[in-house]
């Protein structure tokens, strides 16, 4: 039995300034921590890139009990192509709806009291126009799959999730590890899942001692392992052990040792300023413009 905890979803961003304004000013999230790295991650946390990059965690509260968004920024990449893999993140927040209207952010009502909007870069967010819960406003992340039954078998039998709700007519299933956590919704799209270059990664934690056993089971059942169990260092913070998997449709899954991650993920009071300073110091767009080039797409 996997003792899992939902942590965050990783978004690749090409321009941090408008993106963080969306998270702060529209969604009403806070910058929880920010880190700069001089070279690529051993577990490809920033994608298949070897250069300078940054990681910014944003959410409604501490990562111990809130689902966050991880914004990864590669200094040499200005744009990523969206596929059909990420279908949206759902938040319950009338404040976010009010913020969007006040800032003139495009909203489309898709059903009673639920609106869809897009972050810079095109990622979809569904906003439920109800009071924010005292727990976590992030309700679910929805990913596309090509074979719902195959995906349920993988996420439940291999990764130990339980089914919270299944809608056969809509070809949807809602999965999770615990009632109070953000859920994973899988939507069968009836065809291949295209991850393009903007592909993300969903992260969960479990006790460190469970990681070798999970990795062994994955190998035994011949599922895909993208990065075998490895230790990742963050300067000045805890070292965490992770294994990176891929589900049958290629969705990347990060499993991290919970004990060290709780230490690593403590809220940094200086995070917002660190991010603002990094954005102000980033002259990559100016460099490309000076040399008469567009900042490249992934």
The alpha helices in 134-244, defined as continuous H runs, are 148-152, 211-220
pTM, whole model, 2 decimals?
0.94
Per cent of the chain over pLDDT 90 is 88
Q: Does pLDDT of 285 surpass 80?
A: no
Burial (CB count within 10 angstroms: exposed 0-12, middle 13-18, buried 19+), residue 162: exposed
Q: Name the DSSP letter for residue 206.
A: E
Average pLDDT rounded to a whole number, residues 262-272: 96
Would you place residue 3 in the very low, low, confident or very high pLDDT band (cuts 50, 70, 90)? confident
Q: Which helix (H) or strand (E) holds 263?
A: helix 258-264
> What letter does residue 134 receive in the DSSP assignment?
S
Q: To 5 degrees, how large is the angle CA 8–CA 12–CA 13? A: 120
In a domain, 173, yes or no: yes
Residue of higher predicted confidence among 170 and 296: 170
| Count of the separate structural domains present in the chain | 1
pLDDT score of 291: 59
The reply to whether 149 falls in a domain is: yes
Tell me if 113 is assigned to some domain. Answer: yes
Q: Are 80 and 64 in contact (CB under 8 A)?
A: no
Longest dimension (CA), the chain: 56
- Whether 155 maps to a domain, the answer reads yes
Q: How many helices (H) and strands (E) does the chain have?
A: 7, 16
Residue 117 resides in a domain: yes
Instruction: Label residue 288 by pLDDT band (50, 70, 90).
Output: low
- For residues 63 and 179, is the Cβ–Cβ distance under 8 A? no
CATH of the domain at 56: 3.10.180.10
| Domain membership of residue 33 as a residue range | 5-290
Q: Is the pLDDT of residue 22 over 90?
A: yes
Residue for token pair 């569904």: 126
250: left (phi over 0), alpha (psi -120 to 50) or beta: left
User: Is residue 298 included in any domain, yes or no?
Assistant: no
159-173, 200-214, 279-293: segment of lowest average pLDDT: 279-293
Mean per-residue pLDDT for 7-23? 97
- Quick check: 290 pLDDT over 80? no
Summarize pLDDT for 98-119 with one digit per residue, the tens: 999 999 999 999 988 999 999 9
Q: How many CB atoms lie within 10 A of CB 192?
A: 11
């Amino acid at each position: 039995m996997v003792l899992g905890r939902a942590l965050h979803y990783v978004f690749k961003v090409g321009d941090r300034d408008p993106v963080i304004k969306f998270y702060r000013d529209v969604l009403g999230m806070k910058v929880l921590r920010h880190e700069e790295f001089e070279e690529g991650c051993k577990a490809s946390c920033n994608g298949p890139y070897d250069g300078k990059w940054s990681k910014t965690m944003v959410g409604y509260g501490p990562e111990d009990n809130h689902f966050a968004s991880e914004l990864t920024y590669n200094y040499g990449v200005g744009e990523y192509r969206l596929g059909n893999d990420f279908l949206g993140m759902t938040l319950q927040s009338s404040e976010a709806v009010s913020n969007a209207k006040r800032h003139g952010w495009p909203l489309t009502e898709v059903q009673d009291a639920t609106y869809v909007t897009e972050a810079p870069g095109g990622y979809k967010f569904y906003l439920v126009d109800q009071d924010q819960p005292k727990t976590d406003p992030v309700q679910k992340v929805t990913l596309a799959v090509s074979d719902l039954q195959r995906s349920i078998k993988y996420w439940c039998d291999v990764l130990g999730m339980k089914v919270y709700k299944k809608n056969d007519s809509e070809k949807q299933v809602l999965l999770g590890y615990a009632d109070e956590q953000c859920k994973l919704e899988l939507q069968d799209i009836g065809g291949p899942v295209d991850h393009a270059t903007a592909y993300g990664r969903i992260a969960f934690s479990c006790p460190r001692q469970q990681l070798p056993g999970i990795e062994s089971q994955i190998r035994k059942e011949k599922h895909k392992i993208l990065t075998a169990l490895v230790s990742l260092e963050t300067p000045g913070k805890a070292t965490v052990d992770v294994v990176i998997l891929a589900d049958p449709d290629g969705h990347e899954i990060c499993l991290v040792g919970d004990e060290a991650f709780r230490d690593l993920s403590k809220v940094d009071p200086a995070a917002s300023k660190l991010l603002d300073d990094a954005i102000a110091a980033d002259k990559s767009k100016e460099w490309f413009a000076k040399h008469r080039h567009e900042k490249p797409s992934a």
